[in-house]
A and B are shown apart, each in its own frame.
Chain A
Amino acid sequence: DAKTTQPPSMDCAEGRAANLPCNHSTISGNEYVYWYRQIHSQGPQYIIHGLKNNETNEMASLIITEDRKSSTLILPHATLRDTAVYYCIVSEHGSSNTGKLIFGQGTTLQVKP
């Protein structure tokens, strides 16, 4: 079972920031938070990941709370092309890490004109 909880759907106006929350209250010390998204009729696409510090790349920013029990993915200026299902996944690292990703149902983000 997925170890994260996400709202099933969200709307965002084009050009505004989209803030997608994720709850991972049982996260352990060696688990990272990963975000992927899946645009209709495509495979999932990696967005960003983090351990405890905030992270930013060309696609998005990831804000992780100090207790690491929740995080927020921020798309700073959402466009219609950002309409997709967004998945928040926790996955461990270290010698036992096989790279296995367990997807939940994700959040369907609808960006509206």
Chain B
Amino acid sequence: EAGVAQSPRYKIIEKRQSVAFWCNPISGHATLYWYQQILGQGPKLLIQFQNNGVVDDSQLPKDRFSAERLKGVDSTLKIQPAKLEDSAVYLCASSPRGGIAKNIQYFGAGTRLSVL
């Protein structure tokens, strides 16, 4: 079974530029999550989708971050414009729809973003 795919693996941009990350979840997984992990900290949830609808985006800085999940499969996370403090690893995860399985999330390897 293929895992969660993310691209690119690394990205270096200058502040005020824009950047986009892509995620392809495990086939059949209804729920998709984007996390931000700053160096030395645990991952922090940015946004959660159930199919193509947003379940939780309370921690997403909406003035600069946006995310979409078209057709309930792939997802894109965008930052525009980027700030120095956005330097982090961006992790995508997916999980099956229901019950206890919701908390068993499968993570991709992440995209490491450096903002200079």
CB-based contact B103/A104 at 8 Å? no
Q: Quick check: A99 and B31 within 8 Å, CB to CB?
A: yes
Tally A residues with Cβ within 8 Å of B: 24
Bound-state CA distance A1–B32 (Å) is 21
Contact B42 A105 (CB under 8 A): yes
Main secondary structure of the interface of A (DSSP, over half): loop
Which A residues lie at the B interface, using CB under 8 A?
2, 32, 34, 41-46, 49, 85, 87, 91, 93, 97-106
- Known A43-B108, A98-B56, A99-B31; judge A34-B42 contact (CB<8 A): no
Least CB distance, B109 to chain A, in whole angstroms: 6
> Which of chain A's residues has its CB closest to B50's CB?
A98
A46 touches B106 (CB 8 A): yes
Q: Please report the C-alpha to C-alpha distance between residue A101 and residue B95 in the assembled complex, in whole angstroms.
A: 12
